Amino acid sequence: MSQKKYYNALIIGSNFGYNSHFKALKKINIFNIDISSPNINNKNIKYEKARKFKSYKYALKKNRYHIITCAVPPKVQEEIIKYIINKKISVKYLFFEKLYSTDLKFLIKTINYFNNKNILINLNFIFPKLLQWKILNKLLKNEKVKFIKYSWLFKQSFFNNLQNTWKINEKKGGGLYFYYLIHLIYNLITLFKKIEILDLVKSSNNKYKLIDHLSIKLLCGKKIPCEIEISNNSPNNIHQLKIETEKNIIELISKSKDWTNKFMIKKNMKNKFKFNNKLSNERYMLTLRNIKDLLNFKSTFGKDYVSNLSKIIKCHKITKKISTKNERSQL
C-alpha cells in the first residue's frame, strides 16, 4: 500500500486563522500545517505537530508551501501579497479572507500576476456556502423574480463597548462598506450575476461620524429592482433576503447574533425548511467548503475558476463604487 502524501500548508494569522482556517485544513487531512503570527507564543495552539513562526517571512524563507491561507486585516494582507510577488514565492494555492484590497488597481495587477503564474486563489465569502443558500438557489430556479429586498441590521461591538478594532475603520479595510456590505454584494452577484447602482443614501447616527447606515437601490440580473438596507449600529438584529416572484415570496432569514446560525427558509410566510444541524453551518465548515473549492480548481484558465474570479473582482468593484458615491448623505 502506497504511503499517503501530505502537503505543507501555512496559515498566517492565529485568531480566525486558528479557529477557522486551521480546523478546515485539519479536516481535509492532507496537510502538514504551520501557523505564523507575531504573538504566536501567547496563543494556545492545541496541535503538537504544528510548527509555529513569529514571522511569515521567515516561514516562507525556510519552507516551501502548497497552500498559504491568510486571516489578517486587509492592509496586512496586502503586504503579504506584495511579499509573495516580490520574492517570487513558489506556491500553488492562496486563500484569503475578504476584503482582498480596497485598491482596485492593486487587486487587478496582483490577480493578473497570479493568473500568469498559474497560482490559484479564492476568497472566504461564507454565506453562499450555507446549506440554506443552496436550497434557496433551487427554489428560485423556475421562478420569475420581480423584486428583492435585502436587509442586514445589527450592532457592531464597537458601538457597545468602544473597543478599537480595524473592523470599524474604513482606512484599514473595515467599516460598513468593506467589512459588511461587500458580503451582500457578493451574495447578490452569486444569485443574479449583474448589479447596477441606482441610488444611495448614507447616514451617520453616532458621535464618531462613522457611516453606520446605508440604503441602496439597485437593479439586479435582468433589471430586477432591489433595495439594500444595512446598518452596523442598529437596535435590531436581522439578516433577511426577501425575494418576491410572480407566484411566491421566498425568504432567507436569521435573527441570530451568530453570523451563520439559525437561518430559515420561508415560502409565502411559512417555514419551508428547518435545520437542526448547527455544526454544518459553523464558520470553519463554510471555510472548509471554500478551501475545497479552491483545491478543486485545476488551472487559472478553467471555466469554473474564471467564473469564480469574475465574481470576486466584480463585487470589489461595485463595493468600491458605492463607497465613493456621494449623491445623497444624511449626517
pLDDT means per 10 residues in the chain (331 residues)? Answer: 80 94 94 94 79 96 97 96 98 96 95 97 97 92 96 94 88 94 98 96 88 97 97 96 97 93 89 65 94 96 95 96 72 35
240 falls within a domain = yes
Looking at the structure, tell me whether residues 193 and 216 fall in a common domain.
Answer: yes
Whole-number pLDDT of residue 273: 67
The three-class DSSP label of residue 29 is coil
- Closest-CA residue to 95 (of 325, 293, 306): 293
In whole angstroms, what is the distance from residue 325 CA to residue 200 CA?
7
Looking at the structure, tell me whether residues 261 and 133 fall in a common domain.
Answer: yes
Whole-number pLDDT of residue 72: 96
97 falls within a domain = yes
β-strand partners of 228 = 150, 216
Whole-number pLDDT of residue 276: 56
Looking at the structure, tell me whether residues 203 and 82 fall in a common domain.
Answer: no
Looking at the structure, tell me whether residues 150 and 260 fall in a common domain.
Answer: yes
**3 residue type, one letter:** Q
1 falls within a domain = no
Looking at the structure, tell me whether residues 242 and 119 fall in a common domain.
Answer: no
Looking at the structure, tell me whether residues 25 and 157 fall in a common domain.
Answer: no
Determine if residue 171 is left, alpha or beta; phi over 0 gives left, psi from -120 to 50 gives alpha, anything else beta: alpha
Residue after which a domain boundary falls, among 89, 123, 157? 123
In whole angstroms, what is the distance from residue 94 CA to residue 260 CA?
24
Please tell me the chain's helix, strand, coil percentages from 3-state DSSP, rounded to the nearest 5: 40, 30, 35
Whole-number pLDDT of residue 289: 97
Looking at the structure, tell me whether residues 160 and 222 fall in a common domain.
Answer: yes
Domain with 134 in it: 127-330
2 falls within a domain = no
Whole-number pLDDT of residue 21: 97
CATH number of the domain within which 101 lies: 3.40.50.720
Residue after which a domain boundary falls, among 84, 106, 123? 123
In whole angstroms, what is the distance from residue 202 CA to residue 212 CA?
8
Looking at the structure, tell me whether residues 291 and 245 fall in a common domain.
Answer: yes
Whole-number pLDDT of residue 329: 44
The answer to whether 90 touches 267, Cβ cutoff 8 Å, is no
- Name residue, grid cell 473595515: 174
255 falls within a domain = yes
319 falls within a domain = yes
In whole angstroms, what is the distance from residue 282 CA to residue 81 CA?
28
Count of structural domains, the chain: 2
* pTM for this entry: 0.93
Looking at the structure, tell me whether residues 214 and 116 fall in a common domain.
Answer: no
Whole-number pLDDT of residue 275: 60
Looking at the structure, tell me whether residues 119 and 199 fall in a common domain.
Answer: no
Residue after which a domain boundary falls, among 123, 149, 183? 123
- Closest-CA residue to 60 (of 29, 26, 39, 34): 34
254 falls within a domain = yes
Looking at the structure, tell me whether residues 87 and 140 fall in a common domain.
Answer: no
Whole-number pLDDT of residue 330: 43
Q: Which residues contact 103 (CB under 8 A, 6 or more apart)?
A: 78
239 falls within a domain = yes
CATH number of the domain within which 286 lies: 3.30.360.10
Looking at the structure, tell me whether residues 91 and 212 fall in a common domain.
Answer: no
